[in-house]
């Protein structure tokens, strides 16, 4: 069955040539990534879409917000599709534009220095659009501290969403004291914050999280230290602060891949991120004597919704229901948010 699906996919790829671009996120299963023209993280792949103007049809094997970003950055005449549009991101959905606007009013009423929003690229187009309208910037997990610094150097304060842990870890990386970093909980009146707390804060982070990286715990780090004392541990900065601070390193997906690539024969690297990527790194580097192990088996169920069957379906019939199209006014403001980051 999979051989037949693979044959159908390869046939369409050969027929369409450069008019088709299949993008595959690092968290996809290897069976899907085999057919991707480009692999990468979410923003990297969205930029690949913009960098391939001859690609009339772009298929994003990832989750919904990623395909939105690809549509926002792609050009005229390019159409973005997903094999499975129900592949969403729980963290991205933890913040709505309406909630963000309510939080913005709460912060604005606090007095003191003004705020600038910073939104993680792992967010909906509507959230990016709010950020763009208010003069803020997007960020990735690798450049978040740099974007925070850009805000603070203007004498302003950071309102970051939707991932609490990336926000807290980025502030810590910059040496910002814990009592100047607050968590805004959209489920509570006024975010659960008092005006005097907001007045002394330099950073306010949204109470959202990634299910994959929330699964990692300090106790797992302690176990590794006891069982494999010579191992190096690296995790994604979406992991809780108490986990990140116990590790040898933390970094984005691309930085994790590079960390493993730079390891020497005989090294053991324990990685805290999505299991499909960890297993692929283990397979890739086994022959050169580098051992890669998962800190814990944490899988993104939404990434797993993409498979060879629905990839073949979208390539063969291009159903309108699988197309991702961001409305013009939202797309323009979201693009401004992304372009601000790219210009830094």
Residue 255 class from Cβ within 10 Å (0-12 exposed, 13-18 middle, 19+ buried)?
Answer: middle
Domain assignment present for 10:
yes
Which backbone phi and psi does 94 adopt, to 5 degrees?
-80, -5
Give the H or E element holding residue 66.
helix 64-73
Give residue 46's pLDDT: 85
Give residue 96's pLDDT: 97
Q: Which pLDDT band holds residue 36 (cuts at 50, 70, 90)?
A: very high
Tokens matching residue 233: 């541990």
Give residue 42's pLDDT: 84
Q: CB of 212 within 8 A of CB of 273?
A: yes
pLDDT mean over 323-331: 95
What average pLDDT is seen over the chain?
A: 95
Domain assignment present for 99:
yes
Question: Do 30 and 60 share a domain, yes or no?
Answer: yes
Number of domains in the chain: 3
Q: What is the pTM of this model?
A: 0.94
Tokens matching residue 72: 């926002």
| CATH number, residue 236 | 3.40.50.10800
Question: Do 205 and 114 share a domain, yes or no?
Answer: yes
Give residue 262's pLDDT: 98
pLDDT in tens, 150-176: 999 999 999 999 999 999 999 999 999
Give residue 47's pLDDT: 86
Give residue 1's pLDDT: 61
Which backbone phi and psi does 230 adopt, to 5 degrees?
-90, 0
Looking at the predicted structure, is the pLDDT value of residue 112 above 80? Answer: no
Question: Do 205 and 223 share a domain, yes or no?
Answer: no
Q: CB of 136 within 8 A of CB of 336?
A: no
Domain assignment present for 8:
yes
User: What are residue 255's DSSP bridge partners?
Assistant: none
- The DSSP 8-state label assigned to residue 323 in this structure reads E
pLDDT mean over 287-307: 97
* Cis peptide leading into residue 162 (ω within 30°): yes
Give the H or E element holding residue 117.
strand 115-120
Question: Do 105 and 82 share a domain, yes or no?
Answer: no
User: Which domain, by its residues, includes 287?
Assistant: 216-294
Give residue 50's pLDDT: 86
Q: Which pLDDT band holds residue 113 (cuts at 50, 70, 90)?
A: confident
pLDDT in tens, 231-282: 999 999 999 999 999 999 999 999 999 999 999 999 999 999 999 999 999 9
Q: Which pLDDT band holds residue 43 (cuts at 50, 70, 90)?
A: confident
Question: Do 64 and 144 share a domain, yes or no?
Answer: no
Q: Which pLDDT band holds residue 110 (cuts at 50, 70, 90)?
A: low
pLDDT in tens, 205-217: 999 999 999 999 9
Of 195, 210, 225, the residue that ends a domain is: 210
What do you get for the CA distance between the two ends of the chain, in Å? 48
The CA-CA-CA angle for residues 280, 283, 289, to 5°, reads 135
pLDDT mean over 91-107: 96
Question: Do 242 and 314 share a domain, yes or no?
Answer: no
Domain assignment present for 341:
no
Domain assignment present for 26:
yes
Give residue 238's pLDDT: 98
Q: How many Cα atoms sit within 13 Å of 212 on the Cβ side?
A: 26
């Amino acid at each position: 069955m999979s051989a037949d699906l693979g044959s159908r996919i390869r046939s369409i790829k050969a027929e369409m040539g450069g008019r088709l671009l299949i993008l595959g996120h690092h968290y996809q299963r290897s069976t899907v990534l085999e057919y991707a023209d480009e692999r990468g993280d979410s923003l990297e792949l969205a930029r690949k879409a913009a960098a391939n103007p001859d690609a009339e049809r772009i298929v994003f094997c990832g989750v919904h917000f990623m395909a939105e970003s690809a549509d926002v950055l792609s050009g005229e005449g390019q159409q973005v599709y997903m094999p499975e549009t129900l592949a969403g991101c729980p963290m991205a959905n933890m913040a709505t534009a309406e909630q963000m606007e309510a939080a913005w009013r709460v912060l604005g009423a606090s007095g003191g220095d003004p705020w600038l929003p910073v939104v993680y690229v792992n967010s909906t187009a509507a959230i990016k659009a709010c950020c763009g309208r208010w003069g803020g910037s997007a960020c990735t997990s690798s450049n978040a501290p740099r974007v925070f610094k850009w805000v603070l150097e203007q004498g302003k304060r950071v309102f970051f969403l939707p991932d609490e842990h990336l926000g807290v870890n980025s502030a810590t990386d910059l040496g910002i004291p814990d009592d100047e970093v607050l968590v805004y909980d959209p489920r509570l009146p006024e975010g659960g914050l008092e005006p005097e707390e907001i007045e002394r804060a330099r950073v306010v982070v949204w109470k959202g999280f990634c299910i994959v990286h929330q699964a990692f715990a300090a106790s797992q780090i302690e176990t590794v230290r006891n069982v494999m004392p010579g191992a190096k541990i690296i995790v994604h900065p979406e992991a809780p602060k108490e986990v990140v601070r116990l590790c040898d390193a933390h970094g984005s997906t691309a930085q994790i891949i590079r960390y493993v690539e730079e390891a020497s024969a005989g090294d053991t690297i324990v990685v805290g991120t999505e299991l499909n990527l960890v297993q692929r790194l283990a397979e890739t580097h086994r022959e050169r004597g580098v051992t890669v192990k998962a800190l814990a088996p944490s899988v993104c169920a939404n990434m797993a919704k993409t498979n060879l069957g629905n990839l073949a379906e979208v390539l063969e019939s291009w159903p309108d229901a699988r197309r991702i199209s961001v409305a013009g006014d939202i797309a323009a403001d979201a693009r401004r948010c992304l372009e601000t980051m790219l210009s830094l």
